[in-house]
Amino acid sequence: MTQLKFLSLNVRGLNSPQKRRIALTDLHRQGGDIVFLQETHFREDAAPSLQSRYYSQCFCSNYVVSKSRGVAILLARHISFTRVHQQLDPNGRFLFVKGTLGSQLVTFANIYLPNKGQCAAMRSILSKLDKFREGLLICGGDFNISLDSSREGVHPTPSVDDSLRGRFLTLLHHHQLVDGWRALNPTVKDYTFYSAAAHSYSRLDTFLIPHHQLHYLTKLKIASITWSDHAPVMMWVDFQATPPPHRTWRINESLLRDVVIRQNLHDSINQYFEENSTPDISLPTLWEAHKCVLRGNLIQIGAQRKREHRATLDDILQRIHDLETAHKACQSLDTFKDLTEQRAKLNSLLSQQAFKSLLLTKHTYYTQGNKCGRLLAHTLK
């Protein structure tokens, strides 16, 4: 068995190239193997690509009238998924994708319900899903309805309509679907959305699983709200063994811009040739072995820088988590102010990383855009 991590997040629009890069980088950082996105806000006739080096497969369902709604499913490059069929919604409310993951038949369903008439919309979508689905069903999304009663929310919770919630849960029960978060966390209180206008928390996002397939789930977790107005919901699912990902090393060119690193590499190369240039070692062997030594030094330096960057990011995320937990308990204005500052700090850090990545992309298109090379081959493909 192998374990895959699913992630569902309402992204509140991804039309900005910088925000798209922030989103893809953060989703990769969180380790999402298969990602469900809601509110992409792409127009059908002018939708940008959400593919990246890490997420090689992307399926989108966009609204044909305007830049609103929209859902997408991203799959990491190491996921051996073969699509068999997909069903799109012209209103951008749902997306069904069916295929084989390794040797197992699966169906992915990403749903974004409207703010009103949730039960009627969900009933129509589930009737279509029953005809489409085969194999293991993974259904996730933003259902725009509080999945916990008013007694389970943070006081006050004026937006919770227990009668609407009851009808929605009855509809799920009729289709034999179970709220995965509540099934694995029966006594835990946590939330995915904070309404600044109503000053209330609610849990609008979750994964739905058929009750006879709950044994595939191992864990569900709600992370902190960071650059979006919703918190990501993470789910770990056991699948039959899939082939391990194939990875190749590539030099990080940004390391060579550092004067200190270049000097250290220069010293290491000189030291290597002084210690290994002996008559019993042939020149081809000496030359090929020095590449391995140089690669090892670059991997070590890159790993150290990555650990430092990750430590800074983890410190901010932990601070956000602590402040968010405290705010859920007391809803202090001072705590909310500190929480907003930490989220702005995190957004600034992610924006800097996205800006560097965008500059590298522009440089690639400027230097290789009019040449017969890999860029042109990928574009034609």
pLDDT, tens digit, 9 for 90 and up, residues 12-54: 999 998 899 999 999 999 999 999 999 999 988 888 888 888 9
Average pLDDT, rounded, for the chain: 88
| C-alpha dist (Å) from residue 108 to 5, 148, 231, 284 | 13, 24, 20, 52
Token duo for residue 172: 């799920």
Beta sheet of 177-179, edge-to-edge order: 81-88, 94-101, 104-112, 136-142, 205-210, 177-179
The widest CA-to-CA distance across the chain, in whole angstroms, is: 86
Kindly write down the DSSP assignment for every residue of 170-185, as one continuous string. HHHHHTTEEEHHHHH-
Pick the more confident residue, 355 or 311: 311
Instruction: Tell me the mean pLDDT in the region 95-108.
Output: 93
Question: Which residues are 94's β-sheet partners?
Answer: 111
Residue 159 has pLDDT above 60, yes or no: no
Q: Is 148 a catalytic residue?
A: no
For the question of residue 230 being annotated catalytic, the response is: yes
The percent of residues in the chain predicted with pLDDT above 70, rounded, is 94
CA dihedral 158, 163, 164, 169 (to 10 degrees): 120
Q: What's the pLDDT at 302?
A: 86
pLDDT per residue as tens digits for the range 206-219: 999 999 999 999 99
CA atoms within 13 A on the CB side of 158: 5
Give me the half-sphere count of Cα atoms (radius 13 Å) on the Cβ side of residue 64: 4
Q: Which amino acid is at 218?
A: T
Cα separation, 212 vs 176, whole angstroms: 8
Q: At what angle do helices 283-330 and 333-368 cross, to 10 degrees?
A: 150
- Consult the annotation and say whether 148 binds a ligand: no
Beta-carbon contacts of 318 under 8 Å, excluding residues fewer than 6 positions away, are none
pTM of the model: 0.75
How far apart CA 259 and CA 177 sit, in angstroms, is: 58
DSSP symbol at 159: T
142, 179, 190, 205: the catalytic one is: 142
* Residue 229 known to bind ligand: yes
Q: Is 39 annotated as a binding residue?
A: yes
The pLDDT of residue 189 is above 80: yes
CA distance linking residue 276 with residue 248, whole number of Å: 27
Q: What mean pLDDT comes out for the span 111-120?
A: 95
pLDDT of residue 154: 47
Amino acid symbol at 170 = T
Residue 10 marked in a binding site: yes
Supply the pLDDT for residue 133. Answer: 95
Q: φ and ψ at 82, to 5 degrees?
A: -120, 115
Domains annotated on the chain, with CATH = 2-239 (3.60.10.10), 253-380 (no CATH)
Catalytic residue check, 112: yes
Q: Is 341 annotated as a binding residue?
A: no
pLDDT tens profile 55-93: 999 999 999 888 999 999 999 998 989 999 999 999 999
3-state secondary structure of 24: helix
Token pair for residue 114? 């409207």
Nearest to 202 by CA among 138, 154, 270: 154
Closest to 105 (Cα-Cα) out of 80, 133, 136: 136
The one catalytic residue in 26, 33, 179, 230 is 230
From 26, 63, 89, 112, the catalytic residue: 112
Cα–Cα distance measured from residue 202 to residue 149, given in angstroms and rounded to the nearest whole number: 9
Paired residues of 103 in beta bridges: none
Return d(Cα 258, Cα 16) in angstroms, integer. 30
Residue 9: the pLDDT is 97
User: How many distinct helices (H) and strands (E) make up the chain?
Assistant: 8, 14
b/e per residue, 315-350, with b = 16+ CB within 10 A?
ebbebbbebbebbbeebeeebbebbeebbeebeeeb
